[in-house]
Amino acid sequence: MKQICIPGTTLQVSRLSFGTGSLHHLPSLARRRALLQAALEAGFTHFDTSPYYGFGLGELALGSLPAASRQRMTVATKVGLYGPNGSRAWAVDVYARKFLGKLLPSLNRAVVDWSLARARATFDDSLRRLKRESVDLLLLHEPVAAFIRTSEWLQWLQSLQHNGRIRHWGVAGEPGLVVAVRLHAEALAPVIQVRDSLQRHEADVALNLPGTDSRPMQLTYGYLAAQSGAARGGVLAEQCLLTALGRNATGSVLVSTRRIERIAGLAKVAAG
C-alpha cells in the first residue's frame, strides 16, 4: 500500500489506516487478532485505537499480536473518553454492558473526563494493553475545549514526547469540537484527526478557520459510515474510498471493517 508522511510530523503511515472502533464486535480474541493480522499483511501499517473502543478490548487485541507484527505498525491511541467501568477489558463485562445498555443506556455511556490525573493513569494502562513502551500518536478524544486546562495538558504532552513515550499529539473528533480547540488552544492540535464525508466535506470547517492559513488534511474518517447501506456495498465502498483518498490527498484515511474478506479489496484501493 502507498505510504505518506503526515504533514507537520515525522509519521510515515499507510494511505489507508485501520480503525479498531468496531473490533470488539468480533466475539473472540482469536478473530480480532486474525482481522488485525490480515490488515497488516494487506499493507495497512497505521492502526487507530482508544481505551474507549470495546472498553480496552481494541488495545488488548493490538497488544496480542506477535512482537514482529507490532514492530511493523504505527499506533495512535487516545485519552479523554472512557468506558463506564474504566477500561477493564473483560469481555464478559463489555458485552453485558453493550447488551443491557440497550435497555438502560447509563450502563453503556461514555465517561468524559478531562482531568490530567485520569489521562496520566489511563495512558499507562493503554501502553500496558498495547504492550508498547510508546505510541506514535496520542490524541485527545472528542476534546471539550472548555474543560481542558491547556497549559497543564501541554506540559504533560511535551514531557511524554521528551521522554520518548509519544512521538506526536493532537486532537480527534467532530469538526465543531476541533474548531473550539483550535480557537482556544491551538498548541494542543498539531495533528488533527477529524470526521469527513464526500457529501458534506465536514473536515473543511475544522481545517480552514477564517483568518488563519488553511491546514492540510492529516487523518480523516467516516467516509463509508456516511454512505447509506445500499451505497456502501462492495465495489461502491471501494469507489467511495478512492474518492476519499483524492479528497485527503496529503494524509491518511481511516477505515474499518469487521469482515476479514473485505480487507484485501479495501487495501487494493490504495495499492502502491
Which residues make up the interface to ligand NAP (CB under 6 A)? 19-22, 48, 141-142, 172-173, 193, 221-225, 232-234, 237, 254-259, 262, 265-266
CA atoms 124, 129, 130, 131: torsion sign: positive
Residue with smaller CB distance to ligand NAP, 58 or 210: 58
Residue at grid coordinates 468524559? 112
Residue with smaller CB distance to ligand NAP, 167 or 268: 268
Tell me how far, at minimum, the Cβ of 4 lies from ligand NAP, in Å. 17
- As a whole number of angstroms, the distance between CA 93 and CA 118 comes to 21
Tell me how far, at minimum, the Cβ of 223 lies from ligand NAP, in Å. 5
Tell me how far, at minimum, the Cβ of 244 lies from ligand NAP, in Å. 8
Tell me how far, at minimum, the Cβ of 123 lies from ligand NAP, in Å. 16
Closest by alpha carbon to 215, among 179, 246, 242?
Answer: 179
Residue with smaller CB distance to ligand NAP, 103 or 235: 235
Tell me how far, at minimum, the Cβ of 137 lies from ligand NAP, in Å. 11
- As a whole number of angstroms, the distance between CA 42 and CA 1 comes to 8
Residue with smaller CB distance to ligand NAP, 26 or 160: 26
Contacts of 225 (CB under 8 A, 6+ apart): none
Strands 111-112 and 81-82: antiparallel
Residue at grid coordinates 447509506? 228
Closest by alpha carbon to 76, among 165, 141, 136?
Answer: 136
